[in-house]
């Protein structure tokens, strides 16, 4: 499939209809963003933490996304997002934030991670096999509790005003795949929903050093991931009138 034919969305689990956004309306602007990032070598030029140099080094590359949307007056809006974190940051000026509340995430994650690290340290410092087994089990349970608390922060909405926890879209046996809800497309759609904007185009491109598997190349556009995005995007786009 050519870049111009890409579409972002999926099958809605409520109305059982495929809801899709085309890349074409946003493609020229997305290509301009690639050129701008290549020239400025930063996603936020006034802060060295946001230099794109890391994407051509140890961090390799990262996915970025752009959305063209209309506000209630019919004016055009361009929204941009990066997948996951950028160099340890969830938020950057001019880029849409994650679906979850970052402050609430940090309130939960910081003490949870400290407990896990403390258990890991105790595992390394004990030579008693029985105690090690108990500590490993305690660490595993703590990791599961923390992950469940974090996943509970992801509440998905759609253009009909419906809300569902993200966990509802994934098998309870397998759980949610790593990074589900953190890709550019769900971030952009969530922002549009919560800011009364109507998307008309969406695209995601890879920026940086080729990924380790060789499946993503710098400056190329790619369809949304099948594991983390496909199960949720259809629901999120349900009710959108274009």
Query: With 90 as the cut, is the pLDDT of residue 173 above it?
Result: no
pLDDT score at 188 = 98
Confidence of residue 171 (pLDDT cuts 50, 70, 90): confident
Distances (CA, A) of 75 to 31, 83, 197: 21, 26, 10
Whether 47 is in a domain gets the answer yes
Query: With 80 as the cut, is the pLDDT of residue 185 above it?
Result: yes
**Domain of residue 19, residue span:** 3-98+177-237
> E strands along the chain, which residues?
7-11, 18-22, 62-70, 76-82, 155-157, 163-165, 198-207
pLDDT score at 115 = 96
Q: What average pLDDT score do residues 114-127 get?
A: 95
Q: Is the pTM of this model over 0.85?
A: yes
- Report DSSP letters for 196-214, one per residue: T-EEEEEEEEEESSPPTTS
pLDDT score at 136 = 96
Whether 184 is in a domain gets the answer yes
Q: Residue 198 pairs with which residues in a beta bridge?
A: 70
Long-range contacts of 159-168 (CB under 8 A, 24+ apart): 159/193, 159/237, 159/238, 159/239, 159/240, 159/241, 160/238, 160/239, 161/239, 162/14, 162/235, 162/238, 162/239, 164/235, 166/99, 166/232
pLDDT score at 14 = 87
What digits encode the pLDDT tens for the residues 45-94?
889 999 999 999 988 999 999 999 999 999 999 999 999 999 999 999 99
Q: What share of the chain is helix, strand, coil (3-state, %, to 5)?
A: 40, 20, 40
CA 60 – CA 62 distance, rounded (Å)? 7
What digits encode the pLDDT tens for the residues 38-47?
999 999 988 9
Per the CB < 8 A criterion, the answer to whether 53 and 38 are in contact is: no
CA 123 – CA 119 distance, rounded (Å)? 6
CA 69 – CA 72 distance, rounded (Å)? 10
Query: With 80 as the cut, is the pLDDT of residue 37 above it?
Result: yes
Whether 165 is in a domain gets the answer no
CA atoms within 13 A on the CB side of 197: 19
Query: With 90 as the cut, is the pLDDT of residue 179 above it?
Result: no
Number of domains in the chain: 1
Whether 159 is in a domain gets the answer no
Whether 80 is in a domain gets the answer yes
Whether 84 is in a domain gets the answer yes
Query: With 70 as the cut, is the pLDDT of residue 175 above it?
Result: yes
Whether 158 is in a domain gets the answer no
Q: Residue 39 pairs with which residues in a beta bridge?
A: none
pLDDT score at 208 = 97
Confidence of residue 242 (pLDDT cuts 50, 70, 90): low
pLDDT score at 46 = 87
Whether 76 is in a domain gets the answer yes
Sequence-ordered list of residues with C-beta below 8 angstroms from that of 138, at least 6 positions apart, any chain = 119
What digits encode the pLDDT tens for the residues 189-236?
999 999 999 999 999 999 999 999 999 999 999 999 888 898 999 999
Query: With 80 as the cut, is the pLDDT of residue 241 above it?
Result: no
């Amino acid at each position: 499939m050519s870049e111009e034919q890409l579409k972002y969305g999926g099958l809605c689990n409520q109305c059982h209809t495929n809801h899709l956004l085309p890349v074409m309306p946003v493609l020229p602007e997305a290509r301009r963003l690639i050129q701008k990032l290549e020239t400025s070598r930063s996603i936020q030029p006034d802060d060295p933490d946001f230099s794109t140099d890391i994407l051509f080094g140890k961090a390799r590359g990262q996915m970025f996304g752009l959305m063209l949307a209309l506000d209630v007056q019919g004016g055009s809006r361009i929204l941009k997002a990066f997948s996951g974190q950028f160099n340890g940051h969830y938020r950057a000026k001019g880029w849409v934030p994650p679906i979850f509340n970052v402050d609430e995430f940090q309130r939960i994650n910081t003490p949870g991670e400290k407990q896990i690290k403390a258990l890991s340290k105790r595992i390394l410092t004990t030579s008693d096999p029985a105690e090690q087994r108990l500590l490993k089990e305690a660490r595993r349970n703590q990791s599961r509790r923390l992950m469940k608390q974090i996943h509970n922060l992801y509440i998905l909405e759609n253009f009909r005003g419906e809300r569902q926890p993200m966990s509802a879209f994934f098998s309870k046996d397998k759980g949610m795949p790593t990074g589900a809800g953190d890709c550019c497309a769900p971030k952009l759609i969530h922002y549009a929903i919560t800011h009364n904007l109507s998307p008309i185009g969406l695209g995601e491109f890879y920026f940086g050093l080729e990924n380790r598997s060789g499946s993503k190349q710098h400056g190329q556009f790619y369809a949304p991931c099948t594991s983390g995005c496909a199960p949720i995007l259809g629901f999120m786009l349900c009710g959108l009138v274009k």
